[in-house]
Amino acid sequence: MKRRSFLKGTLATGATAVAVNAGLLTPSTVLAEWNSKAFSAKTTDDALSGIYGSSSATASGDIKLKAPAIAENGAVTPVTVDATAVNGVESITILASKNPMPLVCEYTFAAAALGFVSTRIKMGQTMNVVAVVKADGKLLKAEQEVKVTIGGCGG
C-alpha cells in the first residue's frame, strides 16, 4: 500500500515538472507582469508614457466613452469604452485625471477580442475620465468630465 502511494506521488510530481519545463506553467505565460512604473505615476502623461512609451494621443470621435455626467458615488463610477468602430485595436487604457495615481486599468487585446471594455472605477473628486486606445500603432483618446458629489476614497 505504501509502495503504491509512493509511486503515485512521484508520477504526479514528474508530470508537473515536465509541464513547467515545457513552459506551460511559468507564471509569465499565465499572467503578465504588473507595470508598477506606469501604475505609480502621478500624472496621466507619465502613466501613458509608462505603458505606450508616448503620451501624445489624438482625440477621436470613433471612441465611444460612456460615463455619467454626475456620479453620486465616486467609488463606483460606471465607465464603458467602445472602440469597436476603430480598426486594429490593440489596447485600451482608462485613466482618471486627478486621482493620486491616474492609471486605473489597461486592457490588451488578442485576435479573439473586440475593442470593448466596461467596468466601474473609483474617483476621488470631479475630474476627467480619459480613455486611450492604441490602434494600428497610433494612440487615440476620448475624454469626459464626471462630476463627483461624494468622494471615492473613503472620505
Partner 1 sequence: MSIKIRMRGKSKDGVAEVKALIKHPMESGVRMNKKTGKPYPAKFIESVEVAVNGVKAVDAQWSGAVSANPYVAVKVKANSGDSVSISLADNTGEKGSSELKLK
Pick from 126, 54, 48: nearest CA to 92: 48
Of 31 and 59, nearer to partner 1 (C-beta) is 31
The verdict on 87 binding partner 1 (CB under 8 A) reads: no
Q: Using the rule CB under 8 A, is 135 a contact of partner 1? A: no
* Cα 128 from Cα 4, distance rounded (Å): 64
| Cell numbers for 95 | 485613466
Nearer to partner 1, 11 or 100 (CB): 100
Would you say 23 or 154 has its CB closer to partner 1?
154
Residues recorded for the chain: 155
Q: How far is the CB of 125 from partner 1 (least distance, A)?
A: 13
Binding mask 91-130 for partner 1 (x = CB under 8 A): -----x--xxx-xxxxxxxxxxxx-xxxxxxx--------
What is the torsional sign of CA 144, 134, 51, 75?
positive
First-residue to last-residue Cα distance in the chain: 62
User: Contacts with partner 1 in 41-80 (CB under 8 A)?
Assistant: 75-78, 80
| Minimum gap (Å) between residue 75 Cβ and partner 1 | 6
**CA torsion angle 39 80 54 103 (round to 10):** -20
Binding site for partner 1 (CB under 8 A): 30-32, 34-35, 39, 75-78, 80, 84, 96, 99-101, 103-114, 116-122, 152-154
